[in-house]
Amino acid sequence: MDLYKPLIALLAIVNPIGVIPFFIHFTQGFTRKQRQNTARVAAISAFVVIAVSALAGLKIIEAFGISLASFQVGGGLLLLMSAIQMLNAQPAEARPEDLNEGGDKADTGASIAIVPLTIPLLTGPATISTMIIYADKTRHWWELGVLVIYGLIIGLVVWIAFSLSDRMAGAIGKTGTNVMTRLMGLLLAALAVEVMSDGLVKLFPVLAGAVK
C-alpha cells in the first residue's frame, strides 16, 4: 500500500476548506464559545469516523445489514434537507433565538457538529468507503496505525479551518453570508442528488439502463 495516497485522498474528499461556508451557515447565531465547541466536536468526530472506518468499517456496516449504497441514499437525503434550508437562508438545526434558552446550547452545537457537518458533509460515504478500501489493502498492523494517524491529521485540519471561519464571516458580512449560503445550498442540492442517484443505481441496477 502506498502510504501517501490515503492522506491525499482524504484531504481531497473531506475538503475542510470547502465546508467552511456550511459551518458558517449552521452556526449562525452561535456565540464564539459555541462555535469553538462545535468546531472541536466536528474535528474529533471526523477523526473518530475515519479511524473507526479504517479499523472496523466494513464489519460494522455488515453487522447492521446495510450496504454502502444504502448509506449513500440516506446521506444524500440528509444533504438535500440541509440544502433546502440553506436555499431559504435558514439555520439548519435551530433558530438563533432558540440558542439562548439555556441548557440546550451545547447539545445543539454538538448535534450540528456531528450531523450534518461531520456526517455526511466531511466524512460521508466516499470517505468511509475510501478508508475501507485502503484498510483492506494493508498487510501489517502498523499500516492500519498509519491510517488512524491520517485521521488525526484530518481532524486537526478540520479544527483549524473551522476556527478561522469567524474571520471569513466578518470579512463578507451578513449580506454576503446570506448570498453565499444560497449559492452553496444550490451546489449542495446538486451534490445531494448525485450522491442519492449513485446509491439508487447501485441498489437498483435497472435504473442505470433507464438513465441511458
At 46, is the pLDDT very low, low, confident or very high (cuts 50, 70, 90)?
A: very high
Higher pLDDT among residues 91 and 6, named by residue: 6
The count of domains in the chain is 1
Q: What does the pLDDT read at residue 78?
A: 77
Cα distance between residue 181 and residue 176, in whole Å: 8
pTM for this one?
0.72
Q: Which three cell numbers stand for residue 26?
A: 449552521
Cα distance between residue 24 and residue 39, in whole Å: 11
Residues 6+ apart with CB under 8 A from 161: 16, 17, 19, 20
Cα distance between residue 187 and residue 21, in whole Å: 12
Tally: H helices and E strands in the chain: 9, 0
Domain containing residue 60:
5-211
Q: What does the pLDDT read at residue 107?
A: 63
Higher pLDDT among residues 156 and 128, named by residue: 156
Judged against a pLDDT cut of 70, whether residue 71 lies above it is answered with yes
How large is the average pLDDT for residues 76-80?
Answer: 80
User: The cell 478561522 sits on which residue?
Assistant: 164
